[in-house]
């Protein structure tokens, strides 16, 4: 194979330097001609058409209420869009619009110990979201998003509540973000 390469080189009259540069030129050509585009934030927004987002505060409409939950959720939702898109947040007339309410916040026994007592408790949160895309109305929806978190029943609920709510809020806001502006 090597002999065949050198015989072709002699027949074509190709110089030694050019043969050594040939792989470099081929590599450069392939690198330039093949391009791959990645979006690390997950958003697929045409910023020439969509420039603003209106995010209403989501009130708590569940029968069980923990006071700080609404502000934790509303701040996290607004931060999600501020940190992962170039959309400008406006108070009214947004190209995209999010509103809704926290509809469920409750806990239930998840598992029972051999003595018949609760061993693990599951906390659940559900948010109803109405999404309006004023640029492409076919993408409008109303949907519920739910997240759960568990804790050992030996732990005090008051000692883990903030951490669990923050964890569920993060999961729900990511679900909402993916459903509204990510093209998965």
Provide the CATH number for the domain around residue 67. Answer: 3.30.160.150
Same domain, 118 and 169: yes
Instruction: Look at residue 81 and tell me whether its pLDDT is greater than 90.
Output: yes
SS3 content of the chain, % helix, strand, coil (to 5): 40, 30, 30
Same domain, 126 and 166: yes
And the tokens for 31? Answer: 């690198």
Q: What is the pLDDT of residues 13-50, one digit of tens each?
A: 555 555 565 566 555 554 454 433 334 455 789 999 99
Q: What angle do CA 54, 60, 61 make, to 5 degrees?
A: 115
Q: What is the pTM of this model?
A: 0.75
Instruction: Look at residue 176 and tell me whether its pLDDT is greater than 60.
Output: yes
Same domain, 26 and 63: no
Residues of the chain with pLDDT > 70, as a percent, come to 76
Instruction: Look at residue 64 and tell me whether its pLDDT is greater than 60.
Output: yes
Same domain, 22 and 92: no
Q: What Å distances lie between residue 20 and 9, 24, 31, CA to CA? A: 11, 8, 18
Q: What is the pLDDT of residues 94-112, one digit of tens each?
A: 999 999 999 999 999 888 7
Establish if 41 belongs to a structural domain: no
Instruction: Look at residue 76 and tell me whether its pLDDT is greater than 80.
Output: yes
Same domain, 71 and 27: no
Establish if 26 belongs to a structural domain: yes
Number of domains in the chain: 2
Its domain, for residue 73, covers 52-180
- Tell me if 54 sits within 8 A of 88, measured CB to CB: no
How many whole angstroms separate alpha carbon 128 and alpha carbon 146? 9
Residues of the chain with pLDDT > 90, as a percent, come to 67
| 36-45, 86-95, 123-132, 141-150, range with the lowest pLDDT | 36-45
Predicted local distance difference test score (pLDDT) of residue 44: 83
Establish if 38 belongs to a structural domain: no
Predicted local distance difference test score (pLDDT) of residue 119: 84
- Tell me if 179 sits within 8 A of 141, measured CB to CB: yes
Predicted local distance difference test score (pLDDT) of residue 78: 98
Rg (CA), the chain: 28
Name which residue leads in pLDDT, 134 or 29.
134
Same domain, 112 and 157: yes
């Amino acid at each position: 194979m090597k002999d065949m390469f050198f015989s072709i080189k002699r027949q074509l009259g190709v110089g030694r330097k050019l043969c050594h540069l040939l792989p470099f030129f081929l590599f450069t050509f392939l690198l330039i001609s093949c391009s791959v585009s990645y979006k690390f934030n997950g958003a697929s927004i045409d910023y020439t058409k969509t420039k603003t987002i209106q995010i209403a505060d989501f009130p708590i409409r569940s029968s069980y209420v923990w006071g700080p939950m609404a502000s934790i959720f509303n701040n996290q939702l607004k931060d999600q869009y501020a940190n992962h898109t170039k959309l400008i947040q406006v108070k009214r007339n947004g190209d995209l619009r999010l509103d809704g309410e926290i509809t469920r916040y409750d806990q239930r026994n998840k598992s029972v110990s051999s003595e018949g007592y609760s061993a693990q408790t599951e906390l659940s949160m559900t948010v109803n979201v109405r999404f309006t895309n004023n640029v492409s109305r076919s993408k409008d929806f109303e949907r519920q998003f739910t997240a759960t978190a568990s804790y050992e029943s030996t732990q005090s609920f008051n000692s883990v509540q903030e951490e669990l709510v923050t964890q569920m809020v993060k999961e729900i806001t990511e679900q909402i973000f993916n459903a509204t502006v990510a093209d998965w």
